[in-house]
Amino acid sequence: MAISADGTAPKTMRPGVELAALGPKARRRLKRELVSTKLRLVTKHVTAHHRAALARAYKGTLSPGRRRILAALIEGDPRSLTATVLAAMLRLNRSTIREHIERLKEHKMVTTRAARDRRNYVLTITREGRRAFHASELLDAQVQDAIVRGLGPKQTLLLLDLLDEVERVVVGPT
């Protein structure tokens, strides 16, 4: 639920209550809640569509989490990317990172070698991992193209501007 400026959560509405019967402060709270609910719902649907596309293309081997690991390996220093560093970078716990790494190793997308600290290991992305990551970027482009086709260029730009504004309001200036 959205939290108001005074730190309280809005009370849930009973079905059939007229908006006009509410005061201006309550209407503002309700609008915020509806906007945040709609944003969560749309995000959930877009994410589900993307996950399904990844699952179809990679038969479940390349999840969004594993894709984030591959992206970090492509962008990072190959001599120093350990599971511990990756966990911190991606804000995932080590057991989750370990599970993802095991699946990536099974599908020959990464290799591991012992680090200086024998309790850890250094990860390296393989040619297959790079290929899979770049192919997944094409899936991202297809999802984006579908959105642009559905909305049209002007509405897409408006959506991006509105999302930037929502981010600025929620997160603050960057």
Residue span of the structural domain in which 119 resides: 64-126
pLDDT tens column, 99-128: 999 999 999 999 988 877 767 788 889 999
* pLDDT range class, residue 155, cuts 50, 70, 90: very high
pLDDT value at 15 more than 50: no
The answer to whether position 108 is within a domain reads: yes
The answer to whether position 93 is within a domain reads: yes
The answer to whether position 12 is within a domain reads: no
Q: How many domains is the chain built from?
A: 1
- Stated as kind and residue range, the H or E segment containing 123 is strand 121-125
Q: Which of 142, 127, 126, 125 is nearest to 54 (CA)?
A: 142
Q: Which of 65, 64, 74 is nearest to 129 (CA)?
A: 74
Phi-psi region of 110 (alpha: psi -120 to 50; beta: other; left: phi over 0): beta
* Cα end-to-end distance, the chain, whole Å: 25
The answer to whether position 78 is within a domain reads: yes
- Stated as kind and residue range, the H or E segment containing 49 is helix 24-58
The answer to whether position 134 is within a domain reads: no
The answer to whether position 103 is within a domain reads: yes
What's the CATH code of the domain at 89?
A: 1.10.10.10
The answer to whether position 37 is within a domain reads: no
pLDDT tens column, 34-85: 777 888 888 898 888 877 877 787 776 788 888 899 999 998 876 678 888 8
The answer to whether position 109 is within a domain reads: yes
